[in-house]
């Protein structure tokens, strides 16, 4: 490694180290340099350079504080997103159970053949199965599945009895909240 001479050289070296580490090193050097400024002045390191170091340390400390604040804000946003994702997954799982119960309790209309019933149930199960599977932390996939869940629960074959219609409306409101 060569001895840094230009501002660009110092910037490249500085990029190798965290700002907090540079501030710590400046905090270590400033008291020593202030105490020995007479000896340092004989070798060309004057009070001007010492004040420059203080100024850079102060500016870097302020930037570090701003970065910590930004990181904190990002962590808060990520935490809120994680909570929303968890809640959305719970709503999706509840909706899948609700749809499966609807398929199981589907009344067979008069005149419907057994083959037609099988085809309808197979189609419904295919739609419900499409709602399951691993989502991970993919919020777009969750939003898509929640939208599909609303469509599945709106199918005429899965409409609840009149006594349970209020509960279905409340649940669809939860789905809407999870989609926001």
Question: Is the full-model pTM beyond 0.95?
Answer: no
What pLDDT, on the 0 to 100 scale, is given for residue 104? 92
Q: Helix 47-104 and helix 139-153: axis angle, to 10°? A: 20
Q: Are 30 and 57 in contact (CB under 8 A)?
A: yes
Comparing 30-44, 57-71, 105-119, the range with the smallest average pLDDT is: 57-71
Taking residue 121's Cβ as centre, other Cβ atoms within 10 Å add up to 15
What's the mean pLDDT in 79-101? 92
Q: Where are the domains of the chain?
A: 7-73, 84-179
Give the C-alpha separation, 165 to 180, whole Å: 23
CA-to-CA separations, 12 to 6, 25, 42, 52, in angstroms, rounded: 10, 17, 29, 19
């Amino acid at each position: 490694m060569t001895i840094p001479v230009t501002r660009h050289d110092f910037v490249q070296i500085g990029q190798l180290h965290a700002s907090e580490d540079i501030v710590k090193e400046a905090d270590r050097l400033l008291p020593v340099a202030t105490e020995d400024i007479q000896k340092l002045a004989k070798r060309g390191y004057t009070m001007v350079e010492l004040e420059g170091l203080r100024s850079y340390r102060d500016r870097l400390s302020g930037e570090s504080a701003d970065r910590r604040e930004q990181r904190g804000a990002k962590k808060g946003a990520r935490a809120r997103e994680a909570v929303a994702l968890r809640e959305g997954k719970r709503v999706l799982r509840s909706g899948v159970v609700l749809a499966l119960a609807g398929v199981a309790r589907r009344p067979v209309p008069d005149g419907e053949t057994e083959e037609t019933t099988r085809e309808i149930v197979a189609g419904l199960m295919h739609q419900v199965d499409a709602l399951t599977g691993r989502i991970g932390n993919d919020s777009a996939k969750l939003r898509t599945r929640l939208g599909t869940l609303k469509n599945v629960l709106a199918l005429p074959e899965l409409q609840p009895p009149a006594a349970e219609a209020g509960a279905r409306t409340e649940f669809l409101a939860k789905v809407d909240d999870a989609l926001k």
